Amino acid sequence: MAPMGIRLSPLGMAVFCLLGLGVLYHLYSGFLAGRFAFFMLSEPAAGGPDNPRGSAPAGAVDLRELLAASVLAAVKGGEEVKRVREGNVLNAKAKGKTREGAEEQLTSGDLLSNRKMFRLLKGAFPAVQINSEERVDTADQEPVSWDRVIPDDIKQKIQPKEVPAESVTVWIDPLDATQEYTEDLRQYVTTMVCVAVDGKPVIGVIHKPFSAYTAWAMVDGGSNVKARSSYNEKTPRIIVSRSHAGKVEQVARQTFGNKTVIIPAGGAGYKVLALLDVAEKNQEAADVYIHVTYIKKWDICAGNAVLRALGGHMTTLTGEEISYTGSDGNEGGLIASINMNHKALLEKLPDLEKTSHK
């Protein structure tokens, strides 16, 4: 007999038990749902698919990773350049004229190298702005993947450094010295990648496809190349474009003396390497690099970054720093040096700036 004379039927007991189980289920399922939601929200921060362990968070770029990918992109582009040249399938055609009236050449090497370099960098860093000399065919979706492996020499010299993706601009030159490329002057040809942060060049990669030599450097990081240690400031060796040698020679000899050596050469990448300690038989050595006309930023950004990383300078002919944002051209010519008094050089060459806008 139940207390107070209340008798519970078997049916009542069953209903009571079901109600109790329902309350317990409601409470416990809420607890599980909360724990599951917490797990799902917390997991990506620990290394989920949107943020793999060891990579920069969304909206940030690791400059060490970008350097490693840039080196690989320059090498992969160089492989295309070399393959086309050695197969003699350049398919060269004129794409326009320079301001001086010279024909600009476009080859299969330019296009195939550009496609390889752009796809690799864009696939690895989709949030980063990439400026390239050649147009990218948006219909061509051939993937070029990067395995995110950082070479040992970069890993040993460079520490990870994250910057906002929106502050980064990458400049690609898929084939520097195209004119010389068509003339089979292979020593002048390079592929280049530059990374600018807030307009300042901080990573430079210069690759010579036909000798498999690659120079790279990162400002406030490290490099795999050094500056030349010997030069004569009174009678420097000045390297200039083959087409501009006459414009520079007269002023240079008046400034530095008749013993000044003028070195005509092709390609901005080659000219910067001439200022560095590059142990190659096909690489000439110089003390100063001068360019007296308009030049595109993808031609000079990588060299500018390498020089900055090694303590050198590349400025306009009036001494202004070159910003790697905005337009793709540099109007003020340039002068580059390393281990020299750059300000004194600028003061010695005042007349060259007048020719840079012609």
Question: Does the pLDDT value for residue 226 go beyond 80?
Answer: yes
**pLDDT the model gives residue 140:** 65
Confidence of residue 15 (pLDDT cuts 50, 70, 90): low
* Least-confidence region, from 12-26, 54-68, 114-128, 303-317: 12-26
Q: What is the pLDDT of residues 279-313, one digit of tens each?
A: 888 899 999 999 988 999 999 999 999 999 999 99
Q: Per-residue confidence at 52, pLDDT binned at 50, 70, 90?
A: very low
Q: What is the pLDDT of residues 329-341, one digit of tens each?
A: 999 899 999 998 8
62 among annotated binding-site residues:
no
Higher pLDDT pick, 186 / 47: 186
CATH of domain 226-348: 3.40.190.80
pLDDT of the residue at 257: 79
Higher pLDDT residue, 244 or 212?
Answer: 212
Catalytic residue numbers, as ranges:
110, 178
The Cβ of residue 176 has, within 10 Å, a number of other Cβ atoms equal to 29
Give the pLDDT confidence of 96-132 residue by residue, as tens digits: 656 555 668 899 999 999 999 999 999 999 999 999 9
Percentage, residues of the chain above pLDDT 70: 77
The answer on pLDDT for 47 being more than 50 is: no
Rounded to an integer, the average pLDDT of 61-82 is 98
Domains 60-223 and 226-348 agree in fold: no
**Is residue 50's pLDDT more than 70?**
no
Predicted confidence band at 4 (pLDDT cuts at 50, 70, 90)?
Answer: very low
Mean pLDDT of 75-81: 98
Is 299 assigned to a binding site?
yes
pLDDT in tens, 27-36: 444 434 444 3
Domain boundaries, the chain: 60-223, 226-348
| Confidence (pLDDT) at 159 | 96
| Confidence at residue 280, expressed as pLDDT on a 0 to 100 scale | 83
133 is known to lie in a ligand binding site = yes
- At residue 279, the pLDDT reads 80
Q: What mean pLDDT, rounded, does the chain reach?
A: 83
CATH class of 60-223: alpha beta
* pLDDT attached to residue 33: 41
Q: Is 173 annotated as a binding residue?
A: yes
Please determine, for residue 37, whether its predicted confidence score (pLDDT) is greater than 50.
no
Instruction: Tell me: is residue 175 an annotated ligand-binding position.
Output: yes
- Averaging pLDDT over each range in 135-139, 250-254, 340-344, which range is the top one? 340-344
Report whether pLDDT(87) > 50.
Answer: yes
Secondary structure of the chain in HEC code, one letter for each residue: CCHHHCCCCHHHHHHHHHHHHHHHHHHHHHHHHHHHHHHHHHHHHHCCCCCCCCCCCCCEEEHHHHHHHHHHHHHHHHHHHHHHHHHCCCCCEEEEECCCCCEEEECHHHHHHHHHHHHHHHHHCCCCEEEECCCCCCCCCCCCCCCCCCCHHHHHHCCCCEEEHHHEEEEEEEEECHHHHHCCCHHHCEEEEEEEECCEEEEEEEEECCCCEEEEEECCCEECCCECCCCCCCCCEEEEEHHHHHHHHHHHHHHHCCCCEEEEECCHHHHHHCCECCCCCCCCCCCEEEECCCEEHHHHHHHHHHHHHCCCEEECCCCCECCCCCCCEECCCEEEECCCCHHHHHHHCCCHHHHCCC
Strands 334-337 and 313-315: antiparallel
Is pLDDT above 60 for 49?
no
Q: Is the pLDDT of residue 250 over 60?
A: yes
